[in-house]
Structure 1
Amino acid sequence: MKKYLVVLIFLINVSLVLAQDVTKHRVIILSDIEADPDDTQSFIRLFLYANEIDLKGLIATTSVWHKTEINPESIHKIINAYARVQPNLLKHAKGFPEASTLSSLVKKGPSVYGMLGVGAGKESEGSKWIIQELEKEDSRPLWIPVWGGVNTLAQALFTIKNTRTAAETKRLIAKLRVYTISDQDDSGVWIRKNFPDLFYIVSPGDDYGSATWITINSVIQGIDNSQISNTWLAENIQQNHGPLGAAYPDVAWGVEGDTPSFLSLIPNGLNVPEHPEWGGWGGRYELYKPDFSKQKKGNSGVPLEAETRPIYTDAIDRYTPYKPNEYGRSVKVDTTITYADNKATLWRWRADFQNDFAARIDWSVQSYADANHNPIIKLSHSDSLTVKSGEGFALDAFETTDPDGDNLSFLWFNYPEAGSYKKLIKVDGAENVHNAYVIAPRVTKPETAHFILKVTDKGEPALSSYKRVIVTIEP
């Protein structure tokens, strides 16, 4: 009886998590804009999803690369370009905010580096804004994607701890979700040490080459990397794609290194940001205390210190790509190569989110009829199923449609790392049709397995949508 109660509780929790994903996530961005052109690039992509994410703050900060000044005016410049296309974006989807609303969200962090901006009497407009938003009567978590230094958040936490009761401090911290692009000042380590219960995603330190997020602009051997090339950016984003495209700067160090911090907040049927261990567009991260002896030191000057508690950090996917097949079944597994590292957790989705970006920039200038839009997946069953060990079960999305009338391609696959059952469960038969059949493996205790449906249209650019089905397998 106890076993079935555990399974029931799990299914209820899964249903609640997936149901919550239709709610827009509250977000405050911290950005060291002008330290690198990639912050401007990331803001342009972000604003194209401003109808999907509930933006609550855009705070200019410092970082180890930008220690003594902040540049909120650069955020306003991008918003001015957005203002010119916002009416056209509304032709494609509702909910794009007015440019004046975005402008009101631009705030200033301290114009000093790291912990120099943290302490008694060091509140900034940005730190006060974080606290103000955090204290609102809103049951949703507050996400803080950090693109540079994190001292504005550190000061907000310092103020809360020193001016609120212990119970109130605990309540407010429980509402925070932080994803930092590695450590770009010395306050990130301070936060993780002093607030051990804070939900924190990071590839710690400044060894950017080993981080998960770097894969958004890394050339991966054995795959097509053209969609991060300067040629692709010029043709699909920068030139002849309206004011936002024209504002998208050339790559200096790496394209959009900060974007992974918010990619998993975009509701696409795959992303469930409350569960970084399930994987999504921004990568996959597991909760553990990383081995300090294996961390490498970069050259930024940010201190490298041992983690004192578990954090959500780099996880490994074993990933074998599918590739187009000219005759017979339209896709097949690429048996020539399998990847097994933390970087695969992010780049495996890169072609999809780059195409999505290209389509959104088209939305800013094209009519609805001339642009492409994502398929709408409709499952013929619940997104949480319970089956018996060794039992066959069906997965189906027969009623899936495309708003533009495009032809659709289906792909069902098991994501072993996302569930408790870690061995690959293959689809029995064709995995590229709307209905798939799977034989549950033999298990000795209840296990979970995640199956992902990816539906891609044949529009230009080709766009994908997803559904995640979580299957509980009972002995």
Structure 2
Amino acid sequence: MKSLILSVAVALAGAASLPALAAPAPGVAADTARHRVIILTDIENEPDDSESMVRLLLYANQLDIEALIATTSVHLKTRVAPETLQAVIAAYGKVQPNLLKHETGFPDAKTLSARVTQGLPVYGMAGVGAGKDSGGSERIIALLDAPDPRPIYVSVWGGANVLAQALYKIKATRSPAETARLIAKLRVYTISDQDDTGIWMRKTFPDLFYIVSPGGYGNATWGGMMAVEPGQDNSEISNAWLAEHIQQGHGPLGAMYPDVAYGMEGDTPSFLSLIPNGLDAPEHPDWGGWGGRYTLYTPDRATTDPTGFTGGVPVEQEPRPIWTNAVDDYTPTLANPYGRTTKAAEKTATGYKITIWRWRKEFQNDFAARMDWTTKPYTEANHPPVARLGHADHLTVKSGQTFGLSAKGSSDPDGDSLSYQWFHYPEIGDWKTPIPISGADNTYAVWVTAPTVTEPKTAHFILKVTDKGTPPLTRYKRVIVTITP
């Protein structure tokens, strides 16, 4: 034990004497591999698609937005509205030069405008079949055919019939092997089933990677985007917050963000987990992140709120496993006025929506900061910290072993002071019982004692690094620990 205490003291002393890392020059973006993204949107169905579009464009330098396709849905059956996509892009074009002062890589409006196309103005399966091709479905096929090894993430905000038509044509015109190769490149996330083509695709293409909360909207994970959690602070989704931080005084793009009518940005979770924040692991929907957490199973129809609101889309029994609703238990961390700077809230939240809600203050602050970038110079805005680990992100330890976790080397480009928080995420990995942090969990270096196991088990530990800028911004690191007997 004396050697352990000495090791902690040495580590903390070393942290105090570490030289500050040089901040990147203004306008330098993080070095990340961008995900290929296709957006399908029933924009003009209600205001929330336009809201999500505003947010999406603020991350246009961190995602490869390869197509923006106006579609129908059960809520917008006979028309599509590419002109509204173009209007939001035009507003983005006015602020893109200022965004480039903060990070590189923001495409110009002309480039994004050229990627807008549309599906047929018909509902659901009426747009799928021989001779039902559209600019949107042909664009999807062309992107699949492109010699790019990266997967394509299809973010579906409305009906999915444009994607269904692309897959119908591929199946009808390509060999089974080629069809399977192209389908293997797709990662689909639909915001519920907003037409009758989703279940058709899941039946017809059993190997298609598909995230969805089937059934009634009230049962959907994406509801964590705007759900008012009883007994918790929900101020970051209030109309007053949106007016202050997004809509008013934030230039032409902020002014394009409409008032909430039915729900704030219900479509946004379909791309949140693609943003490179340190949590992003879109090939592992069960690992959790800003867009929620999902597990692979075949849900029983009775558990999907089949009589709840769907806009009229029939709810069928799922034919095979899909990535769908998972449950998190989450106790928020609150600011403590004296002593240790953080404390656990008295109430624990549980449910599907919590897998998004638990990160909501952090991604809303990120949204607000990037909206500031549209009008402010670099020196007057906040920029996210850089989270680093003082060790590998995969560790192997023995049963009962005490091991260290370190955020050594984390920094902030604006020179802001940093706060740290470590926690075990018990819903992920093989070891489901919460593993406590020894002592305070809010120091840059912490100690953990591995539980006793009789066979190898994995545990995920999450590091949050938050700056004290305005608004405070958070980045993450994930450490996967394998515990052996």
Q: What is the root-mean-square deviation of aligned Cα atoms in Å? A: 0.9
Match of 1:84? Answer: 94
> Which letter maps to 1:456?
T
Are positions 1:257 and 2:266 aligned together?
A: yes
SS of alignment partner, residue 392 of structure 2: coil
Cα-to-partner distance string for 1:296-335 (whole Å, 9 max, x where unaligned)? 223411011000000000000111221111111111222x
Match of 1:277? Answer: 286
Task: Within 5 Å, give how 1:13-162 maps onto structure 2.
Answer: 22-162=32-172
Return the offset for 1:361. Answer: 0.4
User: Matched residues in 2 for 1:127 and 1:329: separation?
Assistant: 55
Return the offset for 1:440. Answer: 0.6
Are positions 1:400 and 2:400 aligned together?
A: no
Return the offset for 1:294. Answer: 2.0
Match of 1:17? Answer: none
Match of 1:430? Answer: 440
Match of 1:453? Answer: 463
Are positions 1:361 and 2:367 aligned together?
A: no
> Which letter maps to 2:317?
A
Task: Within 5 Å, give how 1:220-259 maps onto structure 2.
Answer: 220-259=229-268
SS of alignment partner, residue 56 of structure 1: strand
> Which region of structure 1 is more displaced relative to structure 2, 336-345 or 143-152?
336-345
Match of 1:15? Answer: none
User: Matched residues in 2 for 1:138 and 1:474: separation?
Assistant: 39
Cα-to-partner distance string for 1:133-177 (whole Å, 9 max, x where unaligned)? 011111110000000000000000000001000000000000000
Return the offset for 1:418. Answer: 1.4
Q: Percent identity?
A: 62
Match of 1:314? Answer: 325
SS of alignment partner, residue 369 of structure 1: helix
Cα-to-partner distance string for 1:411-437 (whole Å, 9 max, x where unaligned)? 000001111111101101111010010
Select which of 216, 219, 227 maps to 2:225.
216
Cα-to-partner distance string for 1:16-37 (whole Å, 9 max, x where unaligned)? xxxxx93110000000000011
Cα-to-partner distance string for 1:418-470 (whole Å, 9 max, x where unaligned)? 11111101101111010010001111111110000001111111100100111
Return the offset for 1:49. Answer: 0.2
Structure 2: gaps (5+ residues): 1-30
SS of alignment partner, residue 256 of structure 1: coil
Match of 1:165? Answer: 175
> Which letter maps to 2:252?
P
Contact 2:37 2:67 in 1 (8 A): yes
Contact 2:224 2:355 in 1 (8 A): no
User: Matched residues in 2 for 1:356 and 1:175: separation?
Assistant: 30
Contact 2:219 2:304 in 1 (8 A): no
User: Matched residues in 2 for 1:269 and 1:398: separation?
Assistant: 16
> Which letter maps to 2:264?
V
User: Matched residues in 2 for 1:223 and 1:372: separation?
Assistant: 26
Structure 1: gaps (5+ residues): 1-20
> Which letter maps to 1:310?
P
Match of 2:11? Answer: none
User: Matched residues in 2 for 1:367 and 1:27: separation?
Assistant: 29
Contact 2:32 2:62 in 1 (8 A): no
Q: TM-score, normalised by structure 2?
A: 0.92
Return the offset for 1:388. Answer: 0.8
Return the offset for 1:292. Answer: 1.2
User: Matched residues in 1 for 2:466 and 2:138: separation?
Assistant: 43
Q: TM-score, normalised by structure 1?
A: 0.94
Match of 2:452? Answer: 442
Contact 2:138 2:166 in 1 (8 A): yes
Match of 1:18? Answer: none
SS of alignment partner, residue 143 of structure 1: strand
Match of 2:10? Answer: none
User: Matched residues in 1 for 2:357 and 2:173: separation?
Assistant: 43
SS of alignment partner, residue 324 of structure 2: strand
> Which letter maps to 1:217?
M
User: Matched residues in 2 for 1:294 and 1:213: separation?
Assistant: 16
User: Matched residues in 2 for 1:454 and 1:224: separation?
Assistant: 20
User: Matched residues in 2 for 1:396 and 1:78: separation?
Assistant: 42
Q: How many residues align?
A: 453
Match of 2:302? Answer: 293
